[in-house]
A and B are shown apart, each in its own frame.
Chain A
Amino acid sequence: MGGKVTCTLGEVKNRADFIVYWGGNPAECHPRHFSKYTLTQKGRFVPEGRKGRTMVLVDIRETPSGRAADIFLQLRPGKDFEVLTTLRALLKNQKVDEASVAETGLTLAVLQDLVDRMKRARFGVLFFGMGISMTRGKHMNSAAILRLAAELNAFTKFVCMPMRGHGNVTGSDMVLRWTTGYPFGVSMSRGYPRFNPGEFSTVDLLVRGDNDAALILGADPGATMPQPGIDHLARIPTIVLDPKVTHTSRLARVHITTAATGISAPGTVYRMDEVPLPLRPILKSPYPTDADVIQRIRQAVAAKPAWTPAPTARIANA
């Protein structure tokens, strides 16, 4: 398993005639998604716009996104992996036990119909939200939906994309990848990058209380982390760079007010499809930018003597 078959959002606008949102509520969480990229836009190969597209919503409950959907499939909580695996089996004409399908809250007939529609699509997309990636099974659910999209390419054009949010999370992921090789959960404690989600990821470090200081940029973990993690942030020296007062800044030892990126500070934001967009400030801020503050902290740290002797690694060739 692994890999990801995807596209940029303009491809969805220009070509997609079959769109599935799974485990997410874009109407409330990504309110411009339908109108800018997926549903209502007229595309080069979908000149009819909304009429030329079918939208399916798969979720455990009804949400406002349901109003935009042509088909709503409600499954039981925690059954995403089972449904995705069943769809993959049906795609390959394998025998599926009706009774076990019933446990998911859906019927075999409904799933067979979905598979048929997906195979008939000219260009299909699977968007998935935190209902897939953050519920029981986590990365296994994500892998299952990514596999489903990849395998559909034996029949037609199909792609898959996670519905990422939280400001510039994709940008952070991109920069970490080119500088360290890994997208998140990177430890530099040995002087080179190491990756181990569950060991080095932020939530796990905080909940175990492994770190003895925290520098927080562009995030509000005080609002989203599990309580033991929040308690730990309050216990240790926590420094927050943020334009505004947040849950985290309230429990931090130091809050440095910075200019808001995209409003009064320039930069680059990466969209959920990894397309970079430039940010141009429209206002002046009396506060320094995040980059200014970090540069000054780095300079101050660099002026201190190193706490370990500098290693001299040889370059190995061939």
Chain B
Amino acid sequence: MLRITGGTVHDPANGVLGVVQDVCIADGRIVPKVEGGRSIDATGMVVFPGGVDVHTHVAGAAMNFARGITPENYRRAIRFIQTPDRRAGLGGITPTTFATGYMYAGMGWTTVNEAAVPILSARHTHEEMHDIPILDKSSLVLMANNEIVLDLLEAGEVERARQVVAWLIWAAKAYGVKAVNPGGIVAWKSGKNAGALSEPVEGYRKVTPGRIISGLAGIIDDLKLPHPLHLHCNNLGIPGNVGTTLETMKVLEGRRAHLAHLQFHAYGGDGWGTLRSEATALAEAFNARTNLTADAGAILFGDAMTVTADGPWEHVLHQLSGRKWSNVDVENETGCGIVPYTYKERSLVNAVQWAVGLELLLLIDDPWRIFLTTDHPNGGGFWRYPELIRLLRDADYRRECLKRLPPKALERMVLPDLDRQYSVSEIAIITSAGPARALGLSRKGHLGVGADADLALYEEKPAAGRMFEYPRYVIKAGEIVVEEGEIRAVTQGREFIARPAFDEQIEAYLRPLFEKVYTMSFDNYAVELERLAQPDIHPCRP
């Protein structure tokens, strides 16, 4: 039992915007009142629901591949020395699993959504997530380049595709569906890509990226999954790609969807020399479409690791940057590309990218629909979120930063004209309440009675941007896990998974197809529920 007294509570989901009130906790949940137990005097602190990361990459085959090819990065990473209660680890741009838990919790974040899991290696992802302490986790499986699903869309068998998608989600013990560069990864397996939404995908006659997007978004809505289609649009990172993004938004009309790392999809121009921000046009279209949510995917100057299922894009980035390139094509399902990258202030392109992320966060007027991410580790490490918050909270600081950019870059952006500053409550929305709602996690992102007792307490500071740098206390499931910047308790979090309804007969249809294209036995494909330490199943009732 725990009582937090005298803090300024920001619980926007329940309409509490900076009110001094007590928060009571018992058995890991928020309760109306408690008798006895420990009390924390939070006078002079703000009380937030624990942070929720709607889009990050922390576990699984791709991250582990990135770790393996960059041992040099760990030489200057934060070290976590083992103690009797705490495993050792290393931070850096691709932290080890234990360090990932300590670093997210150390920043006040308590729930993360791993956004890209191939079903073939989902077992591996769950093994890694088991080794991420403290945090609650969920994961999304990659589906927009699964050839079995695409074949069904080609044949117009949408009902059967829905059954297959539902079966695959449960097989992977995932929470939702991610679509990455729809059709583009299939094409990449023949050395090509998919750009235009209305042109057939390589190897298909009827299926287009647009058809994959609308098909999957519809299936996911019909299956009543808690989180809508999580979409990485076509043409990521390419100058002039805003056209594709706007067209994608039209394709999604009437359906729910979450657009991932929007920053990478908001560029104008027709080449690297003419790249410019199109955040204004994109934000305008986005503001008008309430069926959509998005996360920023902002970049920060410094080292990053680009890791994505978007294989063809990583080959382009390798050719542009000359940095080492890795690629893994995954049979029947997806692919993966990895290139270490450094965003530089003096680079015209990088300067525009930096501005676009902030512009989207400032121009999209409903904070309930745009969330704070860096698409970790693609735009920068998640542990740099406090830097982003400072940029959003302090327009003067933003102007200081703009002075360091190439003057030519300032003509390609609108950031210098934006005066908006995020309020403390708005920060609580874009880091916790909003993403929790978009993920359909009803016990996360708020402090109402019955919510999970995940909280972060920050000291109020006069400098608007600085107070989120590190929390005084972090509470996870009612337990104080971080106090005064130190890990106090290492707990095991839960894993959220979804169980959409499907007809068991679909296995008989899948088995022969599976054995034709895969190299493992069908019976070894699905992850056994017993492999998850603490599963929390969302039933998806229609």
Residue of B with least CB distance to A180: B96
Q: How many residues of B contact A (CB 8 A)?
A: 73
Contact A192 B325 (CB under 8 A): no
Complex CA gap A150/B328 in Å reads 12
**Does any Cβ of B come within 8 Å of A10's Cβ?**
yes
Residue of A with least CB distance to B189: A15
**Does any Cβ of B come within 8 Å of A110's Cβ?**
no
Encode A290-318 as 1/0 by CB contact (under 8 A) with B: 00000000000010001000111111111
Identify which of B59-67, B137-145, B291-299, B428-436 touches chain A.
Answer: B59-67
Complex CA gap A182/B324 in Å reads 18
Contact A276 B59 (CB under 8 A): no
**Does any Cβ of A come within 8 Å of B123's Cβ?**
yes
Complex interface residues of chain A between 68 and 96 (CB less than 8 A to chain B): none
Contact B90 A278 (CB under 8 A): no
Complex CA gap A313/B80 in Å reads 7
A180-B88, A313-B81, A315-B103 given as contacts; is B324 within 8 A of A14 (CB)?
no
Contact A14 B517 (CB under 8 A): yes
Complex CA gap A274/B66 in Å reads 13
For A8, give its contact among B74, B94, B131, B329 (CB under 8 Å).
B329
Query: Which residues from B are CB-within-8-Å of A302?
Result: 84
Complex CA gap A302/B86 in Å reads 12
A4-B69, A14-B517, A315-B106 given as contacts; is B123 within 8 A of A268 (CB)?
yes
A153-B315, A188-B82 given as contacts; is B386 within 8 A of A317 (CB)?
yes
Complex CA gap A285/B64 in Å reads 34
Contact A177 B330 (CB under 8 A): no
**Does any Cβ of A come within 8 Å of B505's Cβ?**
no
**Does any Cβ of B come within 8 Å of A142's Cβ?**
no
For A7, give its contact among B64, B128, B328 (CB under 8 Å).
B328
Complex interface residues of chain A between 83 and 132 (CB less than 8 A to chain B): 122-123
Size bin of chain A's contact surface: 35 or more
Query: Which residues from A are CB-within-8-Å of B83?
Result: 310-312
Complex CA gap A270/B190 in Å reads 27
**Does any Cβ of A come within 8 Å of B243's Cβ?**
no
Nearest chain B CB to A9's CB is how many angstroms away? 5
**Does any Cβ of A come within 8 Å of B396's Cβ?**
no
Complex interface residues of chain A between 251 and 305 (CB less than 8 A to chain B): 268, 270, 274-278, 302
Complex CA gap A13/B330 in Å reads 12
For B88, give its contact among A4, A188, A306 (CB under 8 Å).
A188
**Does any Cβ of B come within 8 Å of A11's Cβ?**
yes
A192-B79, A314-B486 given as contacts; is B329 within 8 A of A178 (CB)?
no
Complex CA gap A6/B517 in Å reads 18
Nearest chain A CB to B242's CB is how many angstroms away? 28
Contact A318 B131 (CB under 8 A): no
Contact B64 A174 (CB under 8 A): yes
Contact B524 A277 (CB under 8 A): yes
A13-B331, A178-B131 given as contacts; is B80 within 8 A of A275 (CB)?
no
Contact B90 A274 (CB under 8 A): no
Encode A166-201 as 1/0 by CB contact (under 8 A) with B: 000000011101111111000010111101000000
Residue of B with least CB distance to A41: B519
Encode B104-120 as 1/0 by CB contact (under 8 A) with A: 00110000000000001
Query: Which residues from A are CB-within-8-Å of B485?
Result: 314-315, 317
Residue of A with least CB distance to B386: A318
Contact B469 A178 (CB under 8 A): no
A192-B80, A192-B81 given as contacts; is B329 within 8 A of A276 (CB)?
no
Contact A159 B331 (CB under 8 A): no
Residue of B with least CB distance to A278: B524
A181-B71, A188-B88, A314-B486 given as contacts; is B327 within 8 A of A5 (CB)?
yes
Query: Which residues from B are CB-within-8-Å of A318?
Result: 383-384, 386-387, 469-470
For A276, give its contact among B67, B87, B121, B387 (CB under 8 Å).
B121
**Does any Cβ of A come within 8 Å of B520's Cβ?**
yes
Interface residues of B (CB under 8 A from A): 59, 61, 63-65, 67-71, 74, 77-84, 87-90, 92, 94, 96-98, 102-103, 106-107, 120-121, 123-124, 127-128, 131, 147, 189-191, 315, 318, 324-332, 338-339, 383-384, 386-387, 469-470, 482, 485-487, 516-520, 524, 528
15 contacts between A and B (CB under 8 A): A6-B327, A7-B328, A122-B190, A123-B190, A174-B124, A178-B63, A179-B97, A179-B98, A180-B90, A190-B81, A191-B81, A275-B121, A278-B123, A310-B83, A315-B485
Per CB-CB distance, the 3 closest pairs between chain A and chain B, nearest first, are A10-B331, A3-B324, A315-B106
